Amino acid sequence: MKVLVIGNGGREHALAWKLRQSSRVSQVFIAPGNAGTAEEGENINIQANDIAGLIKFAQNNQIGLTVVGPEGPLVDGVVDAFQAAKLRVFGPSRAAAQLEGSKIFCKEMLRHADVPSADFHVFKNPETAQRFILDRYPSEDETVPVVVKADGLAAGKGVIVCNRRRDALDAIDRIARKREFGDAGKQFIIEDRLDGQEASILAFTDGRTIVMLPPAQDHKRAHDGDTGPNTGGMGAYCPAPVVDDRMMGWIEEHILVPTVHAMKRSRQPFKGVLYAGIMLTNQGPKVLEYNVRLGDPECQPLLMRLKTDIVDLIEATIDGRLEELGQLQWDPRHAVCVVMASEGYPGSYEKGRIIRGLNEAAAIPDVKVFHAGTDIVNGNVVNTGGRVLGVTALGNTLSAAKLQAYTAVKCIRWPGAWCRKDISDKALLPPKEDVRRDKPRR
């Protein structure tokens, strides 16, 4: 069959690469794609938010399956539109995509489903929110452990973690007055900060059956040691030993199952990939947020290890027969993805800088360089985004996978290129007794 992938990031490159490996796929199209996806299939000059254009292309080219990568089109209802046009498409409906499209919807659903998460308060104007902070934390010097989150989509940047009162007041000002994140800040929430290690738990679900993927761990902060501003993700690795089999079972039973059931009861059934960002606190796992698609960069190491035909997995999800699929098959090796970024990211950055060394990196065994923010200009690959490449490697041990990934990173260069140097190091630290071995509590 012919397959269309919607999107232009590292996740979409990984999806196109994995779909091309399926014996059931004859041709892969990517809209709009990037310099890397052009090596896996044919890029189509249609933007991911041009739903009418995407439908027209699918109809005119006998596309048998469309896979939606990014959250924006899902929140805009691309799946509903494709289904109305009688086209086969993978992803949640507009209603179900609210789990990511609205922080308020997500938090209220979690509360209704009795899923463990942080306490929160909803605000519509900055004055009320700042008064809440001043009343709750009257001393300027005391610790203020809160997180301020824009309600809508903000490319992973609309979450501000605070330590002091001035941090919280400034976060409210940025989101609600200055509107740094646009309309995403029309409403916002202030929630208690959760402390611990984060883990990414992803699962395919057809609204009834849940198929868990191995745990991964993302690195959201820009700099080594989890310092600096939040980003869309500076790297990931899989599997993450901080979540063992017992804890995975608990997360499925107490977090994913009640979420899927609550969505079904509310007549907004969820079909697709459900991604739970989990904080492993001293009181047990708690949900930070939900995403409604494969994570980026978690997708890259996960798909490097997946051996089951991804088309079989996707179609079983669409058709509501995941229970018939059986166990997924995985490469037993570890995978590490290191994101190479443009100078200035997550702030402003220069575009159009020529990237060299990609062929040398690709020649390293067990390495795949996934493109995110790239394009081809006058025959050269150039950077067009903040997160530019996801250099991903397999290894028999986590240390071996890390070494292989960073060996490939050293081959690649462009003016201002940078990356974190500590991706996956968390897994090499001694496990904390209170996180790893205490019985999770609600």
pLDDT tens digits along 290-315: 999 999 999 999 999 999 999 999 99
| pTM across the whole model | 0.94
Non-local CB neighbours of 42 within 8 Å, separated by 6+ positions: 27, 28, 29, 30
Residue 229 pLDDT greater than 90, yes or no? no
Q: Which of 412, 406, 430, 405 is nearest to 335 (CA)?
A: 405
**Burial bucket for residue 433 (CB in 10 Å: 0-12, 13-18, 19+):** exposed
Last residue of a domain, one of 138, 166, 186: 186
Q: Of 63-72, 238-247, 387-396, 423-432, where does mean pLDDT reach its minimum?
A: 423-432
Answer whether residue 436 shows pLDDT above 50: no
pLDDT the model gives residue 438: 39
Whether 275 is in a domain gets the answer yes
312 and 383 assigned to the same domain: yes
The rounded mean pLDDT for the chain is: 95
Please report whether residue 218 resides in a domain.
yes
- The CATH number that applies at residue 26 is 3.40.50.20
Residues 255 and 180 in one domain: no
Q: Please, which pLDDT band fits residue 142 given cuts at 50, 70 and 90?
A: confident
Do 229 and 171 share a structural domain? no
Residues 226 and 371 in one domain: yes
Same domain, 330 and 300: yes
Residue 321 lies in a domain: yes
Average pLDDT score over residue span 422-439: 63
Residues 389, 264 within the same domain: yes
The pLDDT tens digits of the residues spanning 407-417 come to: 999 999 999 99
Residues 209 and 339 placed together within one structural domain of the fold: yes
What is the model's pLDDT at position 230?
84
116 lies in some domain:
no
Residue 441 pLDDT > 90, yes or no?
A: no
Q: What is the pLDDT of residue 430?
A: 57
pLDDT tens digits, residue range 114-129?
999 999 999 999 999 9
User: Do 201 and 173 sit in the same domain of this protein?
Assistant: no
Looking at the fold, whether 246 and 390 belong to one and the same domain comes out as: yes
User: Are 57 and 152 contained in the same domain?
Assistant: no
Same domain, 50 and 132: no
Query: Residue 66 and residue 19: Cα distance in Å, rounded?
Result: 11
The CATH number covering residue 273 comes to: 3.30.470.20
Domain count, the chain: 3
Q: Determine the structural domain holding residue 396 and report its residue range.
A: 197-428
| Rounded mean pLDDT, 389-405 | 98
DSSP state of 336: E
Length of the chain: 442
Same domain, 293 and 378: yes
pLDDT at 396 over 60: yes
pLDDT band at 25; cut points 50, 70, 90: very high
**Which whole-number Å values give the CA distances from 192 to 290, 391, 407, in the listed order?**
17, 35, 40
